């Protein structure tokens, strides 16, 4: 059936406007991708829901309701690819907050950045990670950003802290994935530059720490070599098992880790005194940070971690990008890319956010926290 040219133009224009609304009912839809059912994704989900509720209560995004589209990748790279396909393939989704784990973000980036083709249909979509710190994510694509520092920034702070504690012989146990390898490499480089020595560096797989005694040979060897500090490059569940094994074997020195260990604070007495680097701690004194912490605690009866704070920041940053730049995927991406490069820096609860030309955050502060009474607080 033929359609008159005037009618056709009207229908095309209406379709274009409908697409710009970011949803069938004038909604703005943003994807939230991460291990939402795991401890290191729980705060991400809660902070996203809190931000969305606040934004909608204050009039939405340009008068439109913000709707979140959740995708649980279970911290698994293969599932992260499927989540990315689903979010990219949904034309209503204008941006994605995620992923959390570095390996998941790296795999998902191949989908978000891909040129439209039969295997990856639809337009690319910007994805902003709140917590993926692997240096390998740098340059993953024009549509990939992160607002957390990389291991190139976390690990030197950790190495300096170990040196300030008077430690010179460190043992490193690290997950055999992109995140763990990044922690190992960057800590080793920074620690040896400062005059320290790595007495052992051993990778582990999940099967290694499922057996409580499986880690003993690595730890015994490290302690026999005179390790006076133990560094863990991994997530909290395996980290707690390593900490427990080290203490059971009589190690009394400091145990340190990068941001993946944040949730060890929930591990009970065995985690007391563990040092963790983070780009956000809930006792950050800035007024904006404390308002967020108080609201989060009132809503959920617990304190937020860096993943929650940074997810919250990304959503408010996207609100600004959409209101000022438009809801088209390219418009959102281009606005984000210009933050700190031609556009003003974004001031969030976690501090100042600005990007370099690789999509990495620039100048983000890194703090050293210590577990005290089940909370991660700034180490003095």
Q: Write the DSSP string, 319-380.
A: HHHHHHH-SSHHHHHHHHHTBTTTBPPEEETTEEE-B-TTS-B-S---EEEEEETTEEEE--
- Tokens representing 367 are 């703090």
Say yes or no: 224 and 124 in one domain.
Answer: no
Residue 378 buriedness (CB in 10 A; 0-12 / 13-18 / 19+)? middle
Whether residues 308 and 335 share a domain: the answer is yes
9 shares a domain with 145: yes
Residue 155 and residue 134 share a domain: no
Question: Do residues 198 and 158 make contact, with C-beta atoms less than 8 angstroms apart?
Answer: no
Closest CA relative to residue 125, chosen from 106, 104, 110, 107: 110
Nearest Cα neighbor of 30 from 79, 73, 82, 65 is 65
Q: Does residue 377 fall inside a structural domain?
A: no
DSSP assignment of 98-154 equals: E--SHHHHHHHHHHHTPPS-SSS-S----EEESS---GGGTTS-TTEEESSPPHHHH
Other Cβ atoms less than 10 A from the Cβ of 294: the count is 12
Q: What DSSP state is assigned to residue 268?
A: -
Q: How many domains does the chain have?
A: 2
pLDDT class for 300, splitting at 50, 70, 90? very high
Last residue of a domain, one of 278, 312, 343: 278
144 and 168 share a domain?
Answer: no
Using an 8 Å Cβ cutoff, are 106 and 136 in contact? yes
Place of tokens 């439209």: 116
Q: Among residues of the chain, what percentage have pLDDT more than 70?
A: 92
Domain finish residue from 255, 278, 301: 278
Question: Within 13 A of 321's CA, how many CA atoms are on the CB side?
Answer: 29
CB-based contact 130:44 (threshold 8 Å): yes
Query: Are both 237 and 168 inside the same structural domain?
Result: yes
Give pLDDT, residue 380: 83
pLDDT score for 25? 56
Residue-wise pLDDT for 9-64, tens only, equals 333 333 333 334 344 458 999 999 999 999 889 999 999 999 999 999 999 999 99
Query: Could you tell me if 357 and 144 are in contact, meaning their C-beta atoms sit under 8 angstroms apart?
Result: no
Residue 372 included in any domain: no
Q: What's the count of helices (H) and strands (E) in the chain, helices before strands? A: 12, 14
Task: Please answer whether residues 170 and 197 qualify as being in contact, where contact means their C-beta atoms are separated by less than 8 angstroms.
Answer: yes
| Residue 297, φ and ψ in degrees, nearest 5 | -65, -40
Which tokens sit at 144? 């990939």
90: CATH: 3.40.50.2300
pTM of the model: 0.88
95-127 residue pLDDT tens: 999 999 999 999 999 999 998 777 788 899 999
Residue 252 covered by a domain: yes
| 59: CB partners within 8 A, 6+ apart | none
Q: Which domain holds residue 192?
A: 151-278
If asked whether residues 20 and 135 sit together in one domain, one would say: yes
201 within some domain: yes
Judge whether 373 lies within some domain.
no
Lowest mean pLDDT among 68-72, 175-179, 196-200, 279-283: 175-179
Residues 93, 109 within the same domain:
yes
Q: Are 136 and 168 within 8 A, CB to CB?
A: no
Looking at the structure, do residues 129 and 197 belong to the same domain, yes or no? no
31 within 8 A of 87, measured Cβ to Cβ: yes
Q: Does residue 210 share a domain with residue 63?
A: no
pLDDT in tens, 229-280: 999 999 999 999 999 999 999 999 999 999 999 999 999 999 999 999 999 9
Does residue 335 share a domain with residue 212? no
Same domain, 107 and 11: yes
Query: What's the average model confidence in pLDDT over 157-161?
Result: 96
Tokens of 199: 């007495």
Which residue, of 228, 260, 278, is where some domain finishes?
A: 278
* pLDDT top residue among 73 and 6: 73
Q: Which pLDDT belongs to residue 212?
A: 65
Residue 268 lies in a domain: yes
């Amino acid at each position: 059936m033929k359609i008159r040219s005037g009618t056709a133009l009207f229908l095309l224009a209406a379709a274009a406007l409908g697409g710009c609304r970011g949803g069938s009912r004038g909604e703005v839809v943003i994807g939230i991708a991460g291990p939402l059912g795991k401890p290191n994704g729980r705060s991400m989900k809660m902070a996203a829901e809190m931000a969305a509720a606040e934004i909608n209560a204050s009039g939405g995004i340009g008068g439109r309701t913000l709707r979140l589209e959740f995708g649980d990748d279970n911290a698994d790279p293969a599932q992260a690819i499927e989540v990315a396909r689903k979010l990219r393939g949904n034309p209503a989704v204008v941006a994605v907050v995620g992923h959390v784990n570095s390996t998941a973000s790296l795999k998902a980036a191949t989908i978000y950045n891909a040129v439209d083709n039969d295997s990856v249909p639809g337009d690319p979509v910007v994805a902003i990670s709140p917590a993926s710190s692997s240096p390998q994510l740098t340059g993953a694509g024009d549509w990939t950003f992160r607002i957390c520092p990389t291991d190139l920034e976390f690990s030197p702070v950790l190495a300096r802290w170990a040196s300030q504690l008077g430690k010179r012989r460190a043992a490193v146990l690290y997950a055999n994935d992109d995140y763990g390898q990044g922690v190992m490499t960057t800590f080793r480089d920074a620690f040896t530059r400062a005059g320290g020595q790595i007495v052992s560096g051993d990778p582990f797989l999940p099967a290694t720490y499922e057996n409580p005694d499986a880690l003993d040979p690595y730890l015994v060897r490290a302690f026999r070599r005179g390790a006076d500090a133990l560094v863990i490059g991994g997530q909290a569940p395996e980290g707690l098992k390593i900490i427990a094994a080290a203490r059971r074997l009589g190690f009394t020195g400091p145990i340190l880790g990068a941001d993946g260990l944040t949730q060890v604070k929930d591990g009970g007495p065995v985690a007391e005194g563990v040092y963790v680097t983070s780009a956000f701690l809930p006792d950050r004194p800035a007024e904006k940070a404390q308002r967020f912490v108080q609201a989060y605690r009132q809503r959920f009866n617990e304190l937020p971690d860096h993943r929650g704070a940074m997810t919250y920041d990304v959503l408010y940053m996207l609100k600004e990008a959409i209101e000022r730049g438009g809801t088209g995927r390219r418009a959102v991406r281009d606005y984000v890319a210009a933050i700190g490069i031609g556009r003003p820096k974004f001031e969030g609860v976690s501090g100042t956010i600005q990007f370099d030309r690789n999509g990495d955050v620039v100048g983000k502060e890194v703090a050293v926290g210590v577990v005290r009474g089940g909370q991660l607080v700034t180490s003095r």
